[in-house]
Structure 1
Amino acid sequence: MTDTPLLQIENLSTHYGAVQALRSVDLTVHAGEICAVLGANGAGKTTLLRTVSGLQPAAPGSRVRVGGVDVTRSPAEDMVRHGLAHVPEGGGVIVELTVEENLRLGGLWRRDRRDRARALDEVYALFPPLAERRRRPAGTLSGGERQMLAIGRALMARPRVLLLDEPSLGLAPLVTRQIMRLLHDLRERTGLTVVLVEQNAASALSVTDHGVVLSQGAVVARGSSAELLADDRMRHAYLGF
């Protein structure tokens, strides 16, 4: 792990009309780390990922850097070329397409066909259930398998940073634990850097290195995952467990 952050967010603010949704958020994530973004519904977690990935414009004075490169004003469609991949809440798989067709969409921008083929093989090795169902429509997958597919499609772009929004949403507790173990194993096997937005704070903190807690668009706490878990006041006030 180097001293230079792979993802550096400074003074990040944004508005929805007259409403300020993020307020001067700072966040630093190094290569190979998993960082949790926690908070209640409406705290600004999803807005943070949308603003980092260019889907929501950042306010003047905000800065987002990936590997030292300022990407704050880059359009969303260019973010993948800077090394960012965003899996939105719900995954967003195309249910009419097969599993493999969904995966191939994630690598379309890459010109090297051999590398696209290698990336596909790597995703199937990471997620054997997807390999077994590659010819099936995505709509036939279980909730956990769809989440695997959404993550696998993002990995087809070979990102340096994966922005992952609420991967446990709507899933049974057992499947949620499987998804969290999957993220841990993915980091161990590939060194991928992950920013994880998650409503299930206890589950997220079990696999992350550190995190921030948002309330009304502002950071109200930050620290290692162990520190956040041990802070009873913070857990009761903002994390709901």
Structure 2
Amino acid sequence: MLEIEGLSAHYGPVRALSEVNLKVEEGSITAILGANGAGKTTLLRVISGLVRASGGRVTAFGEDITAMPTDRIARSGVAHVPEGGGVIPELTVEENLRLGALWRPDRADRARALDEVLELFPPLAPRRSKAAGTLSGGERQMLAIGRGLMGRPRMLLLDEPSLGLAPLVAAKIMAVLRDLRADTGLTVLLVEQNARSALSISDYGFVLGLGEVVASDDAATLLADDQLRHAYLGF
């Protein structure tokens, strides 16, 4: 589904990623873990075209997307939900959701997608005509993920979906991601600082340290590695 080879990225003279290699299997949840400044967010931004790679290659669905414009990457089946969600508070819940599918020509399927998202996140249904700015933090995160799903992506990039949320709300969002993958086969690339929570629903994990992959293995093995957890994952 996704293959990254020798990927490097810079912000001016500052190196954010250095020779990163990783693969994401179709229908999997893959966690990208590491401390602040490890390069996790930059990795997602390079995949979705928001930051240009300074070296290496990104291949998605068998196609080289390294230099592809952001809108074409989205249309190819990659949806990126950034840290903080990025919902538009002045628009209603429904308007925010519809933005995620404006580029899709099938109006009937856009309506079906809207119904599916509201069913997936029940707290949003009674608030669909309310301004997004009136939602709680957890509801805003649900809205951001739902907007990403409106375009029926093949791969969902999620950046810190549990950031700032109460533990119970964060657990509910993680459960939705797990069930969504099981029900639809959606591929998820999940960036999280809460490593324990992310690994609990993931099949595989990569650990970044200062822009480099320092460890990779199946989720259960990473959870069981005490030395790695203490050094890089903070628990």
With normalisation by structure 2, the TM-score equals: 0.98
Q: Which residue among 132, 138, 142 is the counterpart of 1:138? A: 132
Partner of 2:104: 110
Quote the offset at 1:100 in angstroms.
0.1
Partner of 1:79: 73
Partner of 1:30: 25
Deviations 1:185-239 (A, max 9, x none): 1111111100000000001010000010000000000000000001000000000
Quote the offset at 1:14 in angstroms.
0.5
**Residue 51 of structure 2 corresponds to residue 56 of structure 1:** yes
Deviations 1:114-170 (A, max 9, x none): 111111111112111111211111111111111110000000111000000000111
Q: Which residue among 117, 126, 133 is the counterpart of 2:120? A: 126
Task: Spell out the pairing of 1:1-241 with structure 2 (5 A cutoff).
Answer: 6-60=1-55, 62-241=56-235
Question: After TM superposition, which residue ranges in structure 1, 4 or more long, deviate above 3 angstroms?
Answer: none
Note the residue ranges of structure 2 that are not aligned, 5 or more in a row: none
Deviations 1:71-101 (A, max 9, x none): 1101112211111000000000001100000
Q: CA–CA distance in 1 between the matches of 2:4 and 2:112?
A: 32
Note the residue ranges of structure 1 that are not aligned, 5 or more in a row: 1-5
Deviations 1:12-36 (A, max 9, x none): 1111111111011111111110000
1:65 partner amino acid: T
2:164 partner amino acid: G
Coordinate RMSD, CA, aligned: 0.8
**Count of equivalent residues:** 235
Quote the offset at 1:173 in angstroms.
1.0
Give the 3-state SS of the residue equivalent to 1:77 in structure 2.
Answer: helix
Q: CA–CA distance in 1 between the matches of 2:76 and 2:67?
A: 12
Q: CA–CA distance in 2 between the matches of 1:70 and 1:122?
A: 31
Q: CA–CA distance in 2 between the matches of 1:237 and 1:124?
A: 40
Give the 3-state SS of the residue equivalent to 1:74 in structure 2.
Answer: coil
Give the 3-state SS of the residue equivalent to 1:212 in structure 2.
Answer: strand
